[in-house]
């Protein structure tokens, strides 16, 4: 075998070329490694305001469609409702650190802040209040003026405050209406002719009336300018200050989940049933269809909160004694995360 003889300087060039090739391959390997290695997902917990049902479909869709995964989040969903110790209050769970985010109403959140609990809303899942005055269609009660002389059952507290705000806005004298405290969750007082009207939700009681084989008529308070945020996504001041990136990523994924529900309600019901197979799919579908216009009103963006609605809720609470003293209402909600997401 004939020996290979390199010309002067050629050996050095070959060694340098080989060295550069090795370094290039190592660099490519390191680059590929960095692309496949991801940071450990941030773990967060969400406290539902109620049991597993249609109203949490946005959460379920965000999980099923990997919206949270895409934001490098690992999300645990805690069911609400009632436990061994009674009602599971989302504000208590979040403020005490058992959850990072939760769902609650504006009235509950404002009351909590008035008591010194530093919780903050970051989005409104339901932008139009479902609260309505529900009657049987045969009684022809279709506008607030038709309430005069009628028996109206309304829950005490926030519902009564909103109801009285409606009467005031329409120039109606409460003495001309027989208002009764509503003490049951069902529709029996209405269907048994014990009352003419009940204060309830168009996504619940109005559908129950229809499922009972009767036709309901609903006076939706938000149609008359009396609105309320009944389902807010909220967290604490501490989490907002210390983990703003997590807050924004969580909210982005959640809103994408809601968008998925709007795009495919039928699939959303399938997801609901996976979380709670004791429900009836057809009943969940009816409620979901009634829920969709409230979370996605024309001319708005998902999750939007309006300053004037917060101010109205705050004033109604003051006017009806739910709040003894005003709070700084602007501190009850934070719009910057919605604004950042909407600018993308």
Structure-token pair, residue 214: 């009767």
Phi, psi (deg, nearest 5) at residue 146: -75, -5
Q: Looking at residues 52-66, what average pLDDT do you find?
A: 98
How far is it, in rounded angstroms, from Cα 260 to Cα 273?
16
pLDDT one-digit tens code per residue, 267-278: 999 999 999 999
Q: What is the pLDDT of residue 108?
A: 98
Q: What is the pLDDT of residue 27?
A: 41
Residue 26: how many CA atoms within 13 Å on its side-chain side? 6
Residue 113: how many CA atoms within 13 Å on its side-chain side? 23
Name the percent of the chain lying above pLDDT 90: 88
Q: Cα separations (Å) of 36 from 73, 75, 254?
A: 17, 22, 26
Q: Looking at residues 233-252, what average pLDDT do you find?
A: 99
Q: Is the pLDDT of residue 30 over 60?
A: no
Q: What is the pLDDT of residue 82?
A: 95
Structure-token pair, residue 300: 């708005």
Asked if residues 90 and 47 have their Cβ atoms less than 8 Å apart, the reply is: yes
Q: Looking at residues 191-217, what average pLDDT do you find?
A: 98
pLDDT one-digit tens code per residue, 87-127: 999 999 999 999 999 999 999 999 999 999 999 999 999 99
Q: Name the nearest CA neighbour of 283 among 192, 189, 203.
A: 203
Q: What is the pLDDT of residue 28?
A: 40
Structure-token pair, residue 186: 């069902």
Q: Is the pLDDT of residue 13 over 80?
A: no
Structure-token pair, residue 157: 């507290």
Q: What is the pLDDT of residue 15?
A: 34
Q: Name the nearest CA neighbour of 230 among 313, 133, 334, 120.
A: 313
Q: Is the pLDDT of residue 188 over 60?
A: yes
Name the average pLDDT for the chain. Answer: 91
Q: Is the pLDDT of residue 26 over 60?
A: no
> pLDDT confidence of 39, banded at 50, 70, 90?
confident
Domains, the chain, ranges and CATH?
Answer: 42-127+229-342 (3.40.190.10), 131-224 (3.40.190.10)
Q: ∠ at Cα 44 (250, 309), nearest 5°?
A: 45
Q: Is the pLDDT of residue 247 over 80?
A: yes
Q: What is the pLDDT of residue 38?
A: 62
Q: Is the pLDDT of residue 22 over 70?
A: no
Structure-token pair, residue 238: 């501490």
Of the ranges 24-38, 56-70, 78-92, 245-259, which one carries the lowest mean pLDDT score? 24-38
Q: Name the nearest CA neighbour of 294 among 339, 216, 231.
A: 231
Structure-token pair, residue 100: 């990072």
């Amino acid at each position: 075998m004939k020996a290979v003889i390199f010309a002067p300087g050629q050996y050095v060039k070959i060694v340098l070329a080989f060295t550069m090739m090795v370094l290039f391959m190592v660099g490519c390997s390191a680059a590929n490694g960095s692309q496949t290695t991801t940071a450990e997902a941030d773990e967060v917990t969400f406290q539902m305001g109620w049991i597993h049902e249609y109203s949490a479909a946005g959460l379920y869709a965000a999980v099923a469609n990997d919206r949270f995964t895409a934001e490098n989040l690992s999300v645990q969903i805690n069911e609400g409702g009632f436990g061994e110790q009674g009602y599971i209050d989302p504000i208590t769970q979040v403020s005490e650190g058992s959850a990072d985010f939760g769902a609650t109403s504006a009235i509950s959140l404002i009351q909590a802040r008035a008591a010194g609990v530093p919780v903050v809303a970051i989005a409104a899942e339901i932008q139009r209040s479902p609260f309505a005055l529900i009657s049987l269609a045969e009684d022809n009660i279709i506008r607030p003026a038709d309430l005069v002389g009628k028996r109206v059952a309304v829950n005490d507290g926030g519902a009564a405050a909103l109801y009285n705000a409606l009467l005031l806005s329409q120039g109606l004298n409460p003495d001309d209406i027989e208002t009764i405290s509503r003490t049951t969750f069902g529709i029996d007082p209405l269907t048994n002719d014990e009352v003419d009207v009940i204060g309830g939700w168009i996504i619940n009681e109005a559908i129950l009336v229809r499922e009972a084989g009767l036709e309901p008529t609903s006076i939706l308070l938000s149609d008359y300018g009396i609105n309320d945020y009944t389902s807010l996504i909220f967290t604490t001041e501490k989490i907002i200050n210390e983990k703003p990136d997590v807050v924004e990523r969580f909210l982005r994924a959640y809103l994408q989940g809601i968008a998925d529900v709007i795009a495919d309600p039928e699939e959303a019901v399938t997801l609901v049933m996976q979380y709670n197979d004791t429900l009836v799919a057809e009943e969940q579908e009816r409620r979901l269809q009634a829920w969709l216009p409230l979370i996605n009103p024309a001319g708005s963006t998902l999750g939007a909160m309006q300053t004037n609605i917060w101010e109205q809720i705050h004033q109604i609470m003051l006017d009806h004694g739910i709040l003894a003293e005003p709070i700084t209402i602007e501190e009850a909600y934070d719009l910057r995360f919605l604004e950042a997401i909407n600018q993308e």
